[in-house]
């Protein structure tokens, strides 16, 4: 027991979220550099080697410069095991990010100093606030011209609804950027452009010390005034308020120039929560419980293009997960054991014997898992709050190569299990329909089918408004509905009936006419 408590106290599991292009992937890279997990950052490009960021796996991401798949990276730093879950910045993949947020204990929000708070960031922070997730804000790209610090803090408070307190403060920005005064550690970090080494750091317990002029010249007095203003306007940092999700510390830096990243990491280790428990439908599970339990928050096919493998990502909530031990898959009510559980360092994977609360373990999956599944040592539990969505965009999917119909069926099957999209089969027509939350997902599916399964597909337009799962105790009414709406009924991947409403009016009419039929807009309805 003492051992598990020690392991829990050493761990921090968090996600980095931002709008595309705010510098999230670059920040992830630099954190990995500090952990010695990689030796060269994607940003360090020479003419001979063009390295892309370690956390962006799939080719389509490299081409578009956006993170599509959520990746998991672990590294050790200052005797702390840090697990970063990188999230897709692109709005079409918000669904994947929402699920990832169920598996972390805190988040770092990256904001571009020039663009300020962008719409995608607002959406994601809303999800964190619903769960009271502790949030640290990192204002990035200070080596460029951007918004005034106070203006930005106002914008963060108004648009994101966060109460903030700056724990560091910039001296100038863009061409006049001199560095950052770190209030948390009482140090001044001086910025040297184009320097890939960690910046020079000077201790300043008293900001009124005249030596400050030696380093900052005319900017010294301005820094004193601004720090005094901060202390007058913003609350002092209170760790408990941060852990309760009520106060968000703000740090400033430039991830590309490796500036301010170490300070962020050091403060993060100091204040961020250790792994937390989770609610199940049955009870609250604490991390220090002896019995292992965890849940699947993501499934990824073909992480290794040479082997057709699927990996289910499991967040360990309690106890110790051990290799080759039988665990109960509660939805199937049967025991499974795993010979090669995997830990991740971006693309490198290693087989491990024990995994502790807060860690993410990858389990090879032959089709047993769905997102949201729970594994335990025997207790029948089901973890809550892993969202599944009602698609907003629909297309018919057709096989473009009759010789490859098997590959297409297998590819679609596996990609749908990942939660990238939903697949419906027309009950009457047998035609397959893909439903997604964002348009980019259609491209990703087409690309991955071709490159990972050798199957080509084409899409055809379909006019659909919404899908609704439906059930009823009234057999006659159900039969009448099935008969009249035969052309609008499809089956989902589980074989459940779904009403495909082509307009809002059609849905309303069905709901008004068939009073004894219950319509659901998320697949997690309880009957």
Q: Per-residue pLDDT tens, the chain, 527 aa: give them.
A: 568 899 999 999 999 988 877 877 788 888 877 766 555 444 333 333 344 455 554 555 555 554 444 477 888 888 899 998 877 655 555 667 777 888 999 999 999 998 988 887 887 888 788 788 999 999 999 888 888 889 999 999 999 999 999 999 888 888 888 888 888 888 888 877 665 545 566 766 677 777 777 777 777 888 888 888 888 899 999 999 999 999 999 999 988 888 888 889 999 999 999 999 998 889 999 999 999 999 998 887 655 555 556 788 899 999 999 999 999 999 989 999 998 888 876 446 677 888 899 999 989 887 788 888 999 998 999 888 665 666 778 999 989 888 888 888 888 887 887 777 888 999 888 899 998 877 777 888 888 888 888 889 999 988 888 888 899 999 999 999 999 998 999 998 888 899 999 899 999 999 999 999 998 877 655 44
Q: Is 365 helix (H, G, I), strand (E, B) or coil?
A: strand
DSSP conformation class of 403: G
Architecture of domain 278-376: 3-Layer(aba) Sandwich (3.40)
CATH 3.40.50.300 domain extents, the chain: 2-271, 278-376
CATH architecture of 393-520: 2-Layer Sandwich (3.30)
Nearby residues of 294 by Cβ (< 8 Å), 6 or more positions away: 314, 315, 316, 317, 318, 321, 361, 374, 375
How is residue 386 annotated by DSSP? Answer: -
Bridge partners (DSSP) of residue 77 are 80
Q: How far is CA 48 from the centre of its chain?
A: 33
Do residues 499 and 510 make contact, with C-beta atoms less than 8 angstroms apart? yes
What pTM did the predictor assign?
0.76
Q: How far apart are CA 155 and CA 250, in angstroms?
A: 13
Residues of the chain with CATH 3.30.70.3280: 393-520
How far apart are the C-alpha atoms of 289 and 283, rounded to whole Å? 13
- Report the topology of domain 2-271: Rossmann fold (3.40.50)
Ranges of H-type helices in 161-218: 212-216
Q: Which DSSP symbol is given to 273? A: P
CB 252 within 8 A of CB 168: yes
Question: CA 282, CA 302: separation in Å to the nearest integer?
Answer: 34
Long-range contacts of the stretch 500-508 (C-beta < 8 A, 24+): 500/394, 500/424, 500/433, 500/464, 500/467, 501/464, 501/465, 501/466, 501/467, 501/468, 502/463, 502/464, 502/465, 503/465, 504/465, 504/466, 506/465, 507/465, 507/466, 507/468
C-alpha pair distances (Å), 416 with each of 103, 264, 325, 442: 20, 37, 29, 12
In sequence order, what are the beta bridge partners of 305?
none
């Amino acid at each position: 027991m003492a051992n598990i408590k020690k392991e829990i106290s050493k761990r921090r599991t968090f996600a980095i979220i931002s709008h595309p292009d705010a510098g999230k992937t670059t920040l992830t890279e630099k954190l990995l550099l500090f952990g010695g997990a990689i030796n060269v950052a994607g940003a360090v490009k020479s003419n001979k080697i063009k390295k892309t960021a370690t956390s962006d796996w799939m080719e389509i991401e490299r081409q578009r410069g956006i993170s599509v798949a959520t990746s998991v990276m672990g590294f050790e730093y200052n005797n702390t095991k840090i697990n970063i879950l990188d999230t897709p910045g692109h709005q079409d993949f918000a669904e994947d990010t929402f699920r990832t947020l169920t598996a972390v204990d805190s988040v770092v929000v990256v904001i571009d100093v020039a663009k300020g708070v962008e719409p995608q960031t607002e959406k994601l922070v809303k999800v964190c606030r619903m769960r009271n997730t502790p949030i640290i804000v990192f204002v990035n790209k200070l080596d460029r011209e951007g918004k005034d610090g106070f203006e930005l803090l106002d914008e963060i408070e108004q648009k994101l609804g966060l109460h903030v307190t700056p724990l560091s403060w910039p001296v100038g920005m863009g061409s006049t950027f001199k560095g950052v005064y770190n209030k948390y550690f009482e140090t001044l970090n001086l910025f040297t452009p184009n320097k890939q080494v960690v910046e020079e750091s000077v201790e300043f317990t008293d900001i009124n010390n005249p030596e400050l002029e030696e380093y900052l010249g005319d900017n010294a007095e301005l820094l004193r005034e601004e720090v005094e203003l901060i202390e007058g306007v913003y609350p002092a940092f209170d760790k408990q308020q941060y852990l309760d999700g009520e106060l968000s510390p703000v740090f400033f830096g430039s991830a590309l120039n490796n500036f301010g990243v170490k300070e962020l990491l050091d403060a993060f280790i100091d204040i961020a929560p250790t792994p937390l428990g989770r609610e199940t439908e049955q009870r609250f599970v604490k991390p220090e419980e002896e019995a292992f339990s965890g849940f699947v928050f993501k499934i990824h096919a073909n992480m290794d293009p040479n082997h057709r493998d699927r990996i289910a990502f499991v967040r360990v909530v309690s106890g110790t997960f051990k290799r080759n031990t039988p665990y109960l898959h509660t939805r199937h009510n049967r025991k499974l054991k795993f010979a090669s559980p995997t830990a991740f360092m971006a693309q490198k994977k290693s087989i491990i014997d024990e995994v502790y609360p807060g860690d993410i373990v990858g389990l090879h999956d032959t089709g047993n898992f769905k997102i949201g599944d729970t594994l335990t040592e025997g207790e029948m539990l089901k973890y809550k709050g892993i969202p599944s969505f009602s698609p907003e965009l629909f297309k018919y999917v057709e096989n473009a190569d009759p010789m490859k119909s098997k590959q297409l069926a297998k590819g679609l099957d596996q990609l749908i299990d990942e939660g990238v999209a939903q697949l419906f089969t027309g009950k009457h027509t047998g035609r397959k329909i893909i439903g997604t939350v964002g348009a980019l997902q259609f491209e990703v599916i087409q690309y991955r089918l071709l490159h990972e399964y050798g199957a080509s597909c084409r899409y055809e337009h379909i006019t659909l408004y919404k899908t609704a799962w439906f059930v009823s105790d009234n057999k006659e009414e159900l039969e009448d509905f099935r008969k009249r709406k035969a052309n609008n009924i499809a089956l989902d991947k589980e074989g459940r009936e779904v009403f495909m409403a082509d307009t809002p009016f059609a849905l309303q009419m069905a709901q008004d006419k068939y009073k004894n039929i219950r319509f659901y807009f998320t697949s997690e309805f309880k009957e």
